[in-house]
Amino acid sequence: MKQAIQERFLISPFLVFFVIHATQVGVGALNFQRPLMKEAGQDAWMAVLMAGLSAHVLIWLMYRLLSHLPSGGDLVSLHEQYFGRWIGGVLSLGLLFYYALAAFMVLQSYIEIIKVWVFPLMGAWQFSLMFLLMTYYAVSGGFRVVVGLCVWGVVIPLLTIFPMVFFPLEHAQYRNLLPVFDHSFGQLAKASKEMVLQYLGFEMLLMYYPFLKQAPSSQKWAHAANALTTFIYLTVMFISIIFYNKEQIEHVTWPTLTLAKIPEVPFIERMEYIVISIYVLVVFPIIAVSVWAATRVIKQLFAVQQRRSLPVLLACLFVGTLFFQEKTDIEQLTQWTAKAGFYLVAVYVPLLYLYVWTAEKVKKALQQKP
């Protein structure tokens, strides 16, 4: 059995709100409208709502699953407890690769935006090196430092970036919302599946759950974070529908970022530069939490301290940057991450919960036999 984590390393339950919200709203918030409107047109907002409600169910399921663990346990401990050392270890390795892939995808996607909008002549490896050095500094400070990043990664963007999306209402065409319910349930379900990537981030809970004080009581904050995420995506989706039409948005790579060009300030000519710069605070916490979770899996599996595995993992991410520089490669990487995340949270976690629930029922039945 894993030893309980010391009190000084734990965080208060309400901080889960910041960690989950910070890891959900990322680079995808800048261009999530295109695939949704392609599938569901003006009804795309329904897909956003369906995906948000599904995320609430999955969060509830994760808390139910993690409640079967002793104090100080995480998903790696659960794998070992119910599948044994070797099979459980293989399953945990898959979790490790997913967390590393999530960090790498966010890093590459943001670097692509910087190269296209701000510094087109600079190489991807230079940005990657800067980000990974900052990640090393943050993650080596421990989980509480990473949580502090998440707090700032929620507060500052909400106060600076989010209000900008309301400026396009001056040019709104509310008729774009009609007709309502013009698409089938199958089309909406397909669009909501496309939306799953935007809600990913709460699966990091599977690793930092033992770092929460009175962990079960943090569930309401996790749901509150997902509710705020749903509200933000829903608002941006509504504004995008009434500003763009279905034909226009197919030719806009980053619709949300394009909306940021509308506000006019006398002393700032390119407002989107400000948005991209502030967006570092949105992207950086996701990378830090993902890398921390990956090194935590390594520690639980191989008994290697996180400070020792951290530079090796960051070096692997840096090397990967040298091979994923084309836009098509990054889009393919995003698709891989979306599929991996979907199967993890929407398929594997429910199946794992059913397995653990059945195992516990059988165990109790055997104990009650004379």
At 120-146, the pLDDT tens digits run 888 889 999 999 999 999 999 999 999
Q: How far apart are CA 51 and CA 45, in angstroms?
A: 10
Mean pLDDT, to the nearest integer, of 211-224?
94
CA distance 56 to 52: 7
Q: Does residue 212 sit in helix, strand or coil? A: strand
Residue 84 backbone class (left: φ over 0; alpha: ψ -120 to 50; beta: rest): left
pLDDT at 72: 61
Q: What is the mean pLDDT of residues 3-16?
A: 88
Distance (Å, whole) CA 92 – CA 79 = 7
Task: Give the distance from CA 96 to its chain's centroid.
Answer: 15
Q: How confident is the model at residue 1 (pLDDT cuts 50, 70, 90)?
A: very low
Contact by Cβ (8 Å): 199, 229 = yes
Contact yes or no for 143/11 (Cβ under 8 A): yes
Share of the chain above pLDDT 90, in %: 65
Mean pLDDT over 69-88 rounds to 87
What are the helix (H) ranges across the chain?
Answer: 16-24, 33-40, 44-66, 75-117, 124-139, 143-160, 185-199, 205-208, 219-243, 246-249, 255-259, 271-278, 280-302, 306-321, 327-342, 349-368
Evaluate if residue 252 carries a pLDDT over 70. Answer: yes
Question: Measuring CA to CA, how many Å separate 350 from each of 24, 49, 62, 333?
Answer: 20, 21, 8, 25
Per-residue pLDDT, averaged over 49-53, amounts to 95
pLDDT score, position 324: 84
369 or 119: which leads in pLDDT: 119
Is-contact 53 234, C-beta < 8 A? no
The predicted model gives 79-101 an average pLDDT of: 95
11: which strand partners? 212
pTM of the model: 0.94
Report the SS3 class of residue 11.
strand
The CATH code of domain 7-368 reads 1.20.1740.10
Tell me: pLDDT of 4 over 90. Answer: no
pLDDT tens, residue by residue, 306-351:
999 999 999 999 999 988 878 888 889 999 999 999 999 999 999 9
- Tokens (6 digits) for 321: 């940057």
Q: Report pLDDT digits (tens) over 265-308.
A: 776 677 788 888 889 999 999 999 999 999 999 999 999 999 99
Nearest Cα to Cα of residue 16 among 199, 284, 157, 216: 216
Say if residue 163's pLDDT is above 60: yes
**CA distance readout (Å), 74 to 1, 119, 141, 247:** 11, 41, 21, 46
Distance CA 128, CA 323 (A): 12
Mean pLDDT comparison of 5-14, 32-41, 50-59, 194-203, highest-scoring range? 50-59
CA dist 221 and 15 (Å) reads 8
Closest CA to 124 of 323, 363, 347: 323
Distance CA 236, CA 239 (A): 5
Q: How confident is the model at residue 217 (pLDDT cuts 50, 70, 90)?
A: very high
Report whether pLDDT(71) > 70: no
Tell me the average pLDDT of the chain: 90
Is the Cβ–Cβ distance between 140 and 276 less than 8 Å?
no
Side chain identity, residue 277: S
Looking at residue 2, what is its pLDDT? Answer: 53
- Look at residue 236 in the predicted model and tell me its pLDDT: 92
| Cα gap 332→317, rounded to integer Å | 17
| pLDDT value at residue 3 | 60
Burial of 157 (0-12, 13-18, 19+ CB in 10 A): buried
Residues 6+ apart with CB under 8 A from 263: 164, 167, 271
